[in-house]
Amino acid sequence: MLMRHELRVLSVYDGFFSGGARILHSDVVLGLQEGGQLHRVLSVHAEVLREASRQAMEEDACYRSLTAAGVEVTSLGRTSGLPGGPGADPALFTGPELAATARAMAGADVILSLKEQPLGLLNQAGLPRRPVIVSLHRSDPQNQGGALDELKAAIDEGTVVACVCCAESTRAAYEAAGIPPELLHVIPNGVDLLRFRPDPARRLRLRTSLGITGDAPVVVFAARYDAMKNVPLFLRAARAWLRQQPDGHVLMCGAGMTVGQPGLHADIDAAFGHDLALTDRLHLLGVRRDMETVYAASDVVALTSAWGEAAPLCLIEGMMCGAVPVATDVGDSAAIVAGHGFVTPPDPDAIATAWGDAVAARADLAPVLERSRERFSRTRMIAAYAALIDRVHTESFRPPLPEPPLSEPL
């Protein structure tokens, strides 16, 4: 049997584009590689258009972090959503694509599927048989197109042998959707505590660059421009809060949170109405590669999602940088925020009030956030992933039990 330091693991991504699940999984891969496993990544798509942002694999921060650490990353070269792109059925794979996938799988002992979407590829007939672990990062399995059916098919075939749920809400939702509970393993999200920490120098630097005074209250909203994030609700709360806080500022960052997103501008116009002058203190920062700086510069990290969330990475990263979390009750958000911040109904005035309460409570909550750091540790998370991968690998090579001897004839 291979020793753990010789374990070869292939992660399969649908693509490299902005989102917490890819950030989290890529960090897991880096941690497992640091621990001695040999990791590679195969991406179905090389470039996608999402949230009005053209996102190429080679320009993605996760891709660059992985390759800089020596993790080989390859792609089937597909594109999605781009003008003039292929119009073929995305569920149909060509001979060269399947051959490339087979070569990548043949060199692995265990396969990690980032969410269930790559199973449309991994379920194709004729590919090598390898144990697959699926990482699940949402709490709405029925809202994933045909991905849930692909997951069930892979389980029936014996290909998927375990699922990592990043939250208890994920485990409960997938069990309710018919996934066998014995396959669902909860490994809560964790972050790099050396990177995500309070930092007065970073706080001052970003605030200075945005023209924000040192003591002005700041709320950050880190999300991609997607319906599940409930951006209109956030903007209505931002209007109410900025009216209450004449020196307050709001930061919006993530894919689509830019001046080039027409839907966002329509939402801003609708939310602020005759108070558009308040948007002088609304900063659209787009995709950032220095989120530790953005969070350190903020007093509150906000989440207004309506569905789909599991264990939102923004809440954990923001908390570890000293920002007080204020979130709607979706997924595991309430459990993450409990004792550290505020849970709100989906009401803009209630949210704005909670932001004000969070700013006022920030100094008192700082020791609480400091004591919770071990709970949200990347080290704890990666150790749990490593143990599960080891177990799956060991069990996949376990020899069959010997058949009982034939009885002697009378």
Task: Give the integer Cα–Cα distance in Å for 380 and 403.
Answer: 41
Q: What are the distances in angstroms from CA 160 to CA 118, 127, 135, 247, 288?
A: 12, 14, 11, 53, 34
Host H or E run for residue 102: helix 95-106
Whether the predicted pLDDT of 47 surpasses 60: yes
pLDDT category of residue 51 using cuts at 50, 70 and 90: confident
Whether the predicted pLDDT of 347 surpasses 60: yes
Ramachandran sector of residue 276 (left: φ over 0; alpha: ψ -120 to 50; beta: rest): alpha
Q: Positive or negative CA dihedral for 390, 396, 397, 398?
A: positive
Q: Which residues of 239-256 are buried (b: 16+ CB within 10 A; e: fewer)?
A: bbbbeebeebbbbbbbbb
Contact 292, 321 (CB under 8 A): yes
Greater confidence (406 vs 226) lies with 226
Whether the predicted pLDDT of 239 surpasses 90: yes
Q: Express each pLDDT in 201-233 by its tens digit.
A: 999 999 999 999 989 999 999 999 999 999 999
Beta-strand relationship, 342-344 and 8-13: unpaired
Q: Express each pLDDT in 134-175 by its tens digit.
A: 999 999 999 888 999 999 999 999 999 999 999 999 999 999
Task: Give the integer Cα–Cα distance in Å for 369 and 319.
Answer: 6
Q: What is the mean pLDDT of the chain?
A: 93
Return the SS3 of 316: helix
Task: Give the integer Cα–Cα distance in Å for 354 and 326.
Answer: 7
Name the amino acid, one letter, at 308.
G
Whether the predicted pLDDT of 408 surpasses 50: no
Bridge partners of residue 80, in order along the sequence? 48
Whether the predicted pLDDT of 105 surpasses 60: yes
> Could you tell me which of 380, 375, 303 has the C-alpha nearest to residue 346?
303
Residue 99 tokens, joined: 């051959």
Contact 180, 321 (CB under 8 A): no
Give the least confident one: 42-51, 105-114, 270-279, 367-376: 42-51
pLDDT at 410: 39
pLDDT at 235: 98
> Could you tell me which of 212, 232, 249 has the C-alpha nearest to residue 306?
232
Average pLDDT of 282-300? 97
Whether the predicted pLDDT of 401 surpasses 70: no
Whether the predicted pLDDT of 275 surpasses 60: yes
Burial class (CB in 10 A: 0-12, 13-18, 19+), 378: buried
Name the amino acid, one letter, at 361.
A
Average pLDDT of 238-259? 96
pLDDT at 54: 84
Whether the predicted pLDDT of 333 surpasses 70: yes
Question: Considering the entire predicted model, what is its pTM?
Answer: 0.92
Ramachandran sector of residue 122 (left: φ over 0; alpha: ψ -120 to 50; beta: rest): alpha
Residue % of the chain over a pLDDT of 70: 93
Whether the predicted pLDDT of 192 surpasses 70: yes
Task: Give the integer Cα–Cα distance in Å for 127 and 104.
Answer: 10
pLDDT category of residue 71 using cuts at 50, 70 and 90: very high
Q: What are the distances in angstroms from CA 380 to CA 32, 222, 242, 349, 353?
A: 12, 24, 39, 38, 35
Across the chain, which distance is largest between two alpha carbons, in Å? 98
Return the SS3 of 130: coil
pLDDT at 5: 46
